[in-house]
Amino acid sequence: MTETTVLAAVRQFSQSKMGDDETGHGFDHIQRVVGLADRISQSYPAADHLETLTAAYLHDVIDEKLVDNTAVASEEVRQFLIDQGFTSVQVDAIFLIMDNMSYHKTLDGTAKPLPLEGQIVQDADRLDAIGAIGISRAIYFGGHFGEKIYDPAVKPRTEMTHAEYRNLDNETIINHFYEKLLTLKDLMNTTAAKQLAEHRQQVMLDFLAEYKAEWNAEA
């Protein structure tokens, strides 16, 4: 089977699993991550293209938010990949990427080091959380979970006193930018992604400045 044929099957599989998710994990997110991973990988000929794009297509398929039983879902993905002709070494590499690319694992230090292919997919996933798309996803996600858009009293955790931190009962969407989204630029693995992140960062900073100016009737 050619790479194109295999990727078409992987794409089909991913689409059938992702569907119209309501928390920002829909297949549209997957398509953007694949597109970005493809673009970034052009700067890294050493990266295995099929492995990179397959991991990009499947990276959210085993998410707890989407499936009831992650062990069953993992087994189904593994069998699907074997059926497509992936070797067990390739399957293990794809699972290593999927299991270790989350922001959460990076933060708490439990993530295993990612191979180049995984670094590219992780960067692509993070790029899709920032910039104009990132702004819209954060608002969509926050709305879905009933978060307030903005509360000037809610400050980033790093700027809070201990007492303020203990009283924190609600995250706001604007605060999510300070807590996470604005930090992603410096977490990019590849130079190609860092360059794309610079512009997206400025888009978010401009949005936040404008938002606060309008909030205060200053603009």
CB of residue 25 vs ligand ADP: minimum separation in angstroms?
6
Establish if 137 lies at the interface with ligand ADP (CB under 6 A): yes
Given candidates 56, 121, 124, 173, which one binds ligand ADP under the rule CB under 6 A?
A: 173
Residue 47 binds to ligand ADP (criterion: CB under 6 A): no
Half-sphere exposure in the Cβ direction for 140 (13 Å, CA): 14
**Range list of H helices, the chain:** 3-18, 27-41, 49-58, 70-83, 88-100, 103-108, 116-127, 131-144, 162-167, 173-179, 191-215
Angle at 33 between CA 27 and CA 37, to 5 degrees: 145
Nearer to ligand ADP, 84 or 94 (CB): 94
Among Ni ion, ligand ADP, none, partner that 120 touches (CB below 5 to 8 angstroms by kind):
none
The two three-digit tokens of residue 24, written as one number: 């920002």
Q: Which of 66, 171, 211, 212 binds ligand ADP (CB under 6 A)?
A: 171
Nearest residue to 40 (alpha-carbon basis) of 25, 55, 27:
55
Report what 137 binds from Ni ion, ligand ADP, none; CB cut-off 5-8 Å by kind: ligand ADP
**From CA 148, how far away is CA 40, in angstroms rounded?**
35
17 contacts ligand ADP (rule: CB under 6 A): no
Which of ligand ADP, Ni ion, none lies near 129, with the C-beta cut-off 5 to 8 A by kind?
ligand ADP
Residue 123 touches ligand ADP, criterion: CB under 6 A: no
Which of 90, 65, 52 lies closest to 189, judged by CA?
Answer: 52
Q: What are the residues binding ligand ADP (CB under 6 A)?
A: 24-25, 60, 125, 129, 134, 137-138, 141-142, 147, 171, 173, 176, 181
